[in-house]
Structure 1
Amino acid sequence: MVTGVALSADRHFLEFTVGQTTICQGNAVVAVRDASNTVLWSWHIWVTDYRPGTIGTTTPDKEITNYQNRKYKIMTVNLGWCDGKEETYAERTVQVRFKQRPTAGYTSATPKTFTVKQKAHTITELGNSTYYQWGRKDPFVGALEGPGGSPNSINKTWYDASGTTHTNQLPAVQSFPTGTACITRGITTPGTFNANSYMDGQYYNLWDANNNTTSTNDNLVVKTIYDPSPVGYKLPPSNVFTGFTTTGQYTSNQSQFNVQGAWAKGWHFHCGLNHTGDTVFFPASGYRNNFTAVPDHMGSLAYYWTTGLGSAYGGWTLHFHSGHVNPLVNYNRSSGFEVRAAQE
Structure 2
Amino acid sequence: MIKKSTLFVVVSLLAGGCIEPDDFGPEGTYTVGTRATVKAASLEYADADREPYQLQWYADDAVDLYYAPTKLWTTYARTSPGTDASVAGFSAEQEWEYGRRSHIFYAIAPSRALSETSESDPSGLSLELAETQLVSDGIEKYMVSSALAVVKESSGEKHVELQLFPALSLLDLELSATSDFVLKTLSLTTVGAGTGKGLTGPYKLDAATTTVNMRTTTGNSVTLDFGEGLTMEKGKRYQARAVVLPAKLAGVNLSVSGSTSKSSLELSACEAADLKPGTVNKLSLSLSPGPIRQDYTFNVTSGAIGEEANNKQLIYLGANKTQSTAVKGIRIAESKVDLEYESGETKSEDTFWEAAAPDWIVLSQTSGKGAADIDVMVLPNLNPLKKDRVETTTDLSADGTANTYLVHAPGTYRFDARVMGNGDAGVPDGAGFTDYNGSEIASAALSGGVSARVLWQECVSQITDVKYDGSSIEFTTSDHVVPSNAVIALCDAAGRIVWSWQIWFTDELNTDDVIVNANTNETAVAQGLNRFSLMDRNLGAMCRLDGDATRFPKKREGEITVIQYTDESKTIPTGKSFTTKVYQHGVASNSYYKPLCYCGMKYQWGRKDPFVSPYTSGNWPAFVRFDGDNNEIARIVTANGGFGKGYGITIASGITSPDTYYKPNSTVHWMDAHNYDLWGNADGNKVDAATNARPYGMKTVYDPCPPGYKVPTIDAFTAFSTTWVVGGFSNGYFFRAGSSDTAGVFFPAAGEINSGGSLGSMGAEAYYYTGSVTKGSNNSHQLQIKNGLVNNNNNTGHGNARPVRCMRETR
- Following the alignment from structure 2 to structure 1, what is the Cα–Cα distance between the partners of residues 805 and 505? 17
Change in CA separation of 1:15 and 1:133 when aligned onto 2, cut-off 3 Å: same
- Following the alignment from structure 2 to structure 1, what is the Cα–Cα distance between the partners of residues 638 and 466? 22
Which residue, out of 228, 232, 239, partners 2:715?
239
Q: In the alignment, is residue 306 of structure 1 matched against residue 770 of structure 2?
A: yes
Partner of 1:265: 731
- Following the alignment from structure 2 to structure 1, what is the Cα–Cα distance between the partners of residues 536 and 492? 38
CA contact (8 A) 1:272 1:278 kept: no
Partner of 2:675: 203
Change in CA separation of 1:133 and 1:88 when aligned onto 2, cut-off 3 Å: closer
Q: How far did residue 242 of structure 1 move? A: 1.2
SS at match of 2:719: helix
Partner of 2:473: 14
Partner of 2:464: 3
Partner of 1:222: 698
Q: What amino acid sits opposite 1:309 in the alignment?
A: V
Q: What amino acid sits opposite 2:657 in the alignment?
A: T
Q: What amino acid sits opposite 1:15 in the alignment?
A: E
Q: How far did residue 219 of structure 1 move? A: 1.1
Q: What amino acid sits opposite 1:293 in the alignment?
A: G
- Following the alignment from structure 2 to structure 1, what is the Cα–Cα distance between the partners of residues 714 and 499? 28
Which residue, out of 54, 63, 87, partners 2:514?
63
Deviates more, 1:236-245 or 1:24-33: 236-245
Partner of 1:159: 626
Q: How far did residue 76 of structure 1 move? A: 1.2
Partner of 2:484: 26
Change in CA separation of 1:219 and 1:212 when aligned onto 2, cut-off 3 Å: closer
Which residue, out of 752, 757, 760, partners 1:293?
757
Q: In the alignment, is residue 190 of structure 1 matched against residue 651 of structure 2?
A: no
SS at match of 2:697: coil
- Following the alignment from structure 1 to structure 2, what is the Cα–Cα distance between the partners of residues 155 and 215? 44
- Following the alignment from structure 1 to structure 2, what is the Cα–Cα distance between the partners of residues 146 and 64? 37
Q: How far did residue 159 of structure 1 move? A: 1.4
SS at match of 2:718: helix
Q: How far did residue 277 of structure 1 move? A: 5.5
Partner of 1:105: none
Q: What amino acid sits opposite 1:337 in the alignment?
A: R
**Structure having the larger proportion of residues in strand:** 2
Which residue, out of 280, 297, 302, partners 2:745?
280
Rg (Cα) greater in structure: 2
Which residue, out of 769, 788, 811, partners 1:323?
788
Which string of whole-angstrom CA distances, capped at 9 and with x for unpartnered residues, describes residues 224-275 of structure 1?
1111000000111122211112xxxxxxxxxx431011222111100114x7
- Following the alignment from structure 2 to structure 1, what is the Cα–Cα distance between the partners of residues 500 and 477? 17
Q: In the alignment, is residue 35 of structure 1 matched against residue 486 of structure 2?
A: no
Partner of 1:135: 606
- Following the alignment from structure 2 to structure 1, what is the Cα–Cα distance between the partners of residues 702 and 752? 20
Which residue, out of 535, 539, 561, partners 1:79?
539
- Following the alignment from structure 2 to structure 1, what is the Cα–Cα distance between the partners of residues 685 and 622? 33
SS at match of 2:716: helix
Q: What amino acid sits opposite 2:604 in the alignment?
A: Q
- Following the alignment from structure 1 to structure 2, what is the Cα–Cα distance between the partners of residues 319 and 23? 33
Change in CA separation of 1:235 and 1:37 when aligned onto 2, cut-off 3 Å: same
Q: How far did residue 17 of structure 1 move? A: 1.4
Which string of whole-angstrom CA distances, capped at 9 and with x for unpartnered residues, describes residues 271-328 of structure 1?
114x746511111111100x22211121111110001124543221111111211111
Partner of 1:97: none
CA contact (8 A) 1:63 1:71 kept: yes
Q: How far did residue 139 of structure 1 move? A: 0.3
Partner of 2:800: 335
Say how many residue pairs are matched: 284
- Following the alignment from structure 1 to structure 2, what is the Cα–Cα distance between the partners of residues 205 and 133? 14
SS at match of 2:604: coil
Q: How far did residue 75 of structure 1 move? A: 0.9
Change in CA separation of 1:214 and 1:195 when aligned onto 2, cut-off 3 Å: farther
- Following the alignment from structure 1 to structure 2, what is the Cα–Cα distance between the partners of residues 71 and 336? 27
Q: How far did residue 155 of structure 1 move? A: 6.4
Partner of 1:252: none
Change in CA separation of 1:176 and 1:240 when aligned onto 2, cut-off 3 Å: same
Which string of whole-angstrom CA distances, capped at 9 and with x for unpartnered residues, describes residues 166-193 of structure 1?
47x4323332787996101101110011
Change in CA separation of 1:40 and 1:270 when aligned onto 2, cut-off 3 Å: same
SS at match of 1:203: coil
CA contact (8 A) 1:203 1:312 kept: no
The unaligned stretches of length 5 or more in structure 2 are 1-461, 521-529, 544-548, 556-587, 688-692
The unaligned stretches of length 5 or more in structure 1 are 53-58, 90-121, 246-255
CA contact (8 A) 1:170 1:294 kept: no
Q: In the alignment, is residue 123 of structure 1 matched against residue 553 of structure 2?
A: no
SS at match of 1:243: coil
- Following the alignment from structure 2 to structure 1, what is the Cα–Cα distance between the partners of residues 516 and 662? 34
SS at match of 1:187: helix
CA contact (8 A) 2:512 2:536 kept: yes
CA contact (8 A) 2:752 2:759 kept: yes
- Following the alignment from structure 2 to structure 1, what is the Cα–Cα distance between the partners of residues 642 and 734? 37
User: In angstroms, what is the RMSD of aligned CA positions?
Assistant: 2.8
